[in-house]
Amino acid sequence: MKKNINRRVVVTGLGVISPIGLGWNRFWRNCVNGKSGIHKIKSFDTSEYDRHYAGEVRDFDPAKYINYHKIPYLGRASQFAIASSKMALEDAGIHQEDLLKKMAGLFIGTTMGEPKTLEFINQELSDRGFGAKKDLPIWQYPSNVIGANLAHYFGIKGKTLLISTACSSGNYAIGHAYDHIKSGRLNIVLAGGVDSMTRLNITGFSRLFAMSMKKCQPFDKNRSGMLVSEGAGFLVVESMESALNRGANIYAELLGYKLSCDATHMTMPSKEGIIQCILGAVKNAKIRLDDIDYISAHGTGTVQNDKTEALAINYIFRDMKKRPPISSIKSMLGHTMGAASAIEAITCCLAITKNTVPPTINFETFDPECNVDCIPNQARQLNVDIALNNSFAFGGNNACVVLRKFKNRSFVKGGSRVIE
C-alpha cells in the first residue's frame, strides 16, 4: 500500500480512570469544579511513613469493565489500562472487529509498570512461604505485560509499543501515535498512559523529599512538593479520513509534537531543555506563538519544577503583550506518573471542545518567581483553539504535544505560521 505521508491526525475517543472520576464526563465535571482527589491513603498502612496523603482511585470495580475469562489475572495497572481503553473505544464508536479489520496499533506510557503485582507476590511469600510460588502470577510483573494484556484483550495485531520515560511517557505515546497515523503506517491507535500507586513509589518519592504533606500547590509561593497518584488515560487517535468516513465525533486535531532529552540532571529540570522542547513543538505544528490559547502545565508543585517551567514559558512568550494562561490539574489529581500527560492531553481535548479551562486549585500566595497566570482556584470560560500539553520528566525527558480545534478544511503548510 502506498503511504500517505501527510494525513491529518485527530482524536475521536477518550477514556479516563482517575481519583476525581471514572470516564471523561465525571472527570471533566469534577476537574472544572476544582474537586480534589487527594485523601489519606487507605490501600495500605502508612504508619511507618512521614507522608500519608495521595491520589487513590477508590471507586474502581474492574469487574464492571473486564471479562476475566480472557485473562485470569491482571495487575492493577493493566486493569486501569483495559478499562480506560474500553471507555475510549466505546466513546469513539469503534468495535473489536474494527480493530481486527483495520491497521490498529497500541502505544502505552508507564513509569512503574506493575509493581503492585510484585508487592502481592512478596506478601504471599511472606505469609505462605515458598510453597506459594507455584501459583503466583510472576509473569504479570514485567512492564511489557501491560501492552501484551491490552493487545490480547482487544485483539490488536498491529504494532505495540510500551514507553517508559517517567512522567512524560503518555505524551511520548501520543507523539508516536501521531507519527504512525500521519505516515499511513497505522489507521487507528490506542495511545495513553497508566500507573498504579504502591508502597514503592510512596517510598521512593518520600526518600527524594519531594512529597507534600497534604496538598499540591503548583506555582504557589509556599508549594512544598508533589503528591503521588494513580490512574490511566487513553485516546483513540486516527486519520481524519477514517474519522469522517465513520461519522465520528472529533474532539481535537493533533498538529504536532516535540520530544527531547536535555540530559542535564537526573531529577532537576532544565530551563533551556524546556524552551527547546516547546519551541520545537510549535515549529513542528506550524503555528505561531500567538496562536496558543492555553497551556496544560507539567506543574508538579515542587519548588524547582514549577519555577523552571514558569521561567521557560515567560522567556518564550516574552515579546507578547498577553501570555497564554496555564494550569496544572496535578493540583487536583496528584501526580499520576506515566498516566499524567495522557490525562492532561485528554484535558486539552475537553478544554478545546468545551471552551473552558480547568483551574489550579490550592493557590494561595503569588510567587514572583512563578509569574504566570495559573488560572487560580476557579475554572475559566475561554475560547481554546490551540492548546499545548507540557510534560518534563526525570532525566530531562521532555515532551510537548500541540492540539487544535478541528476544522474541516485543508491545512496549508508553511507560510507565516511557521516558527523558523
Best CA proximity match to 370, nearest among 415, 303, 316: 303
Beta bridge partner(s), residue 325 = none
> Is 298 a known active-site residue?
yes
Residue 63, Cβ density class (10 Å: 0-12 exposed, 13-18 middle, ≥19 buried): exposed
Q: Which of 31, 180, 216, 335 is catalytic?
A: 335
Q: Which of 298, 370, 374, 400 is catalytic?
A: 298
- Alpha-carbon distance of 115 to 25, in angstroms, equals 29
Identity of the amino acid at 379: A
- Alpha-carbon distance of 309 to 123, in angstroms, equals 40
Best CA proximity match to 211, nearest among 51, 332, 363: 51
Q: Which residue has the cell 515542587?
A: 302
367, 372, 377, 380: CA torsion to nearest 10: 160
> Is 167 a known active-site residue?
yes
> Is 52 a known active-site residue?
no
Across 332-362, b (16+ Cβ under 10 Å) vs e yields bbbbbbbbbbbbbbbbbbbbbbbebbbbbbb
Lookup: cell for 344: 492532561
- Alpha-carbon distance of 262 to 392, in angstroms, equals 10
| Cβ partners under 8 Å of residue 256, min gap 6 | 178, 281, 284, 285, 286, 401, 402
How many other β-carbons are positioned within 10 Å of the β-carbon of residue 256? 21
Best CA proximity match to 105, nearest among 163, 154, 51, 55: 154
- Alpha-carbon distance of 86 to 24, in angstroms, equals 12
Lookup: cell for 374: 495559573
Q: Which of 167, 216, 349, 374 is catalytic?
A: 167
CB 23 within 8 A of CB 87: yes
Lookup: cell for 29: 465535571
Report the catalytic residues. 167, 298, 335
